[in-house]
Amino acid sequence: IKAEDVLVASTGITGIPLPMDRVRNGIKEIKLQRDSGHDLTKAIMTTDTKPKEIAVRVDVEGSKFTIAGVAKGAGMIHPNLATMLCFIATDALINADFLQSSLQDAVDTSFNMISIDGDTSPSDCAFLLANGLAGNKIISFGNGGAFQEALDEVCTYLAKSIARDGEGATKLIEVTVEGAIKQAEARQAVRTIVSSPLVKAAIHGNDPNWGRIVAALGRSGIELIEDKLDVYLNDTCVMKQGCSAPFNKEEMKIALSNSDSVIIKVCLKLGEAKATAWGCDLSEEYVTINSAYST
């Protein structure tokens, strides 16, 4: 393998230079193997507790291609910059400009919509490599719908896997805001809610405290009308038209405690825009992990 064909990616403690001599020497030792994808997934894990990998097979007009991806990340995860590495490969024959465009679109609705702790890092990356060996008709902007859909599936799965495996996490949180006037406002709202420490702590404690959700929504800065708001926790309406809705709090606490995922839905009823983000609860274990990280 030529050195110029190797992409270098790393996470670690900020301020400590990469051991480039070891990297250069390691390039000489690389041996490609067809069955070592799972080994790659495990090799890039740091504070991750679970490997994150997926492969999707697509059949379009009699031609088949595969998109496979692996990722790592469990802390310092927040939209746009995170301690996250993602490597995706496909054998599809595809136009380079469309490949870049499709990756940007997929990342925008997946990795840029997760938050574990609200902190970021300067070392994240998402690589998408294509070797064109599938023998399919070349994919480009005019016929790339199936490829985009499959890539979205791969990236969303990996993004949710990262959120679910957040440091100290016990629950995946999914937040959807619908009925916003603008897409940008829907995205801002879900990002604010899913990264709220008070919302995350309430979910960890199985507390159906919808006031924390609404408080986060209010400080997101989006346009809203209070007496139009509906809020749902796992399909149970907890706020209706801006007021508390009747529900059994004790039954809700039990339901939350028995679930490893929580779905929050906010209905603004102002427009057609919507967005979804993913995160996790905030536990004492998160503090334990990060208070001793560099020692």
Find the domain containing 211 and state its range. 172-291
DSSP code for 245: P
Domain co-membership, 224 together with 197: yes
pLDDT higher than 80, residue 81: no
Any domain includes 207: yes
Any domain includes 59: yes
Exactly one of 11, 83, 192, 276 is catalytic; name it. Answer: 83
Mean pLDDT over 31-55 rounds to: 91
- Please report the pLDDT score of residue 170 as a whole number: 97
pLDDT higher than 80, residue 295: no
Domain co-membership, 86 together with 107: yes
Give the end of a domain, one of 105, 138, 164.
164
Any domain includes 148: yes
For residue 218, name the pLDDT band (cuts at 50, 70, 90).
Answer: very high
Domain co-membership, 157 together with 60: yes
Any domain includes 117: yes
- Please report the pLDDT score of residue 293 as a whole number: 75
- Please report the pLDDT score of residue 122 as a whole number: 80
pLDDT higher than 70, residue 208: yes
Give the CA radius of gyration of the chain: 21
Give the end of a domain, one of 143, 164, 185.
164
Domain co-membership, 120 together with 225: no
Choose from 3-7, 42-46, 224-228 the range with maximum mean pLDDT. Answer: 224-228
Active site residue 83: yes
CB-based contacts of 53-59 (< 8 A; 24+ apart in sequence): 54/153, 54/154, 54/157, 54/158, 56/150, 56/153, 56/154, 58/92, 58/146, 58/147, 58/150
pLDDT higher than 70, residue 12: yes
Domain co-membership, 117 together with 201: no
Any domain includes 200: yes
- Looking at per-residue pLDDT, the higher value among 26 and 34 belongs to 26
Least reliable range by pLDDT among 9-13, 98-102, 155-159, 241-245: 9-13
Domain co-membership, 176 together with 140: no
Q: What is the CATH number of the domain that holds 64?
A: 3.60.70.12
Overall number of domains in the chain: 2
- Please report the pLDDT score of residue 3 as a whole number: 86
In a 10 Å sphere around its CB, with 0-12 CB exposed, 13-18 middle and 19+ buried, how is residue 279 labelled? buried
- Please report the pLDDT score of residue 102 as a whole number: 98
Any domain includes 115: yes
Domain co-membership, 123 together with 182: no
For residue 33, name the pLDDT band (cuts at 50, 70, 90).
Answer: confident
Q: What rounded mean pLDDT belongs to the chain? A: 95
- Please report the pLDDT score of residue 132 as a whole number: 97
Bridge partners of 280, per DSSP, are 172
Domain co-membership, 153 together with 216: no
Task: Compute φ and ψ for 120, nearest 5 degrees.
Answer: -125, 175
Mean pLDDT over 255-260 rounds to: 96
SS3 category, 151:
helix
Any domain includes 40: yes
Residue identified by tokens 């890539």 is 151
Domain co-membership, 52 together with 128: yes
Q: What is the CATH number of the domain that holds 252?
A: 3.10.20.340
Mean pLDDT over 87-116 rounds to: 98
Domain co-membership, 217 together with 155: no
Give the end of a domain, one of 164, 187, 211.
164
Domain co-membership, 208 together with 258: yes
Each residue's pLDDT tens digit, 104-133: 999 999 999 999 999 888 878 999 999 999
Mean pLDDT over 143-160 rounds to: 98
Domain co-membership, 158 together with 198: no
